[in-house]
Amino acid sequence: MMADEATHWDALHDGWHVGRINHSEAYSVDSVCMNQVESYFSRLRRMVTGQHHRVSPRYLYQ
């Protein structure tokens, strides 16, 4: 699992091997990067506002 330097990801270390990247130092170190997940969420937000216009809380978990 990969994560950035945000402290809310610290709990992941209890159950998984986590690669961390500090964006203030580099965007990719030893093949650890966040580009794929950041791109996914960026596209998801644009899809919701541009194509679907909103997502009902009833279906958000899907």
The residue ranges of every structural domain in the chain are 2-52
Radius of gyration of the chain (CA): 15
pLDDT of residue 13: 86
Distance, CA of 22 to CA of 33 (rounded, Å): 9
Over its length of 62 residues, how does the chain's per-residue pLDDT go in tens digits?
778 788 888 888 888 888 787 777 777 777 666 677 778 888 888 888 888 787 888 887 77
Closest C-alpha to 3, from 26, 19, 24: 19
In this prediction, residue 5 carries a pLDDT of 80
Predicted local confidence at residue 21, as pLDDT: 79
Query: Is 34 within 8 Å of 4 (Cβ atoms)?
Result: yes
Residue 60: the pLDDT is: 76
Q: What is the pLDDT of residue 34?
A: 67
Q: How far is CA 10 from CA 6, 13, 29, 31, 55, in A?
A: 8, 6, 19, 20, 29
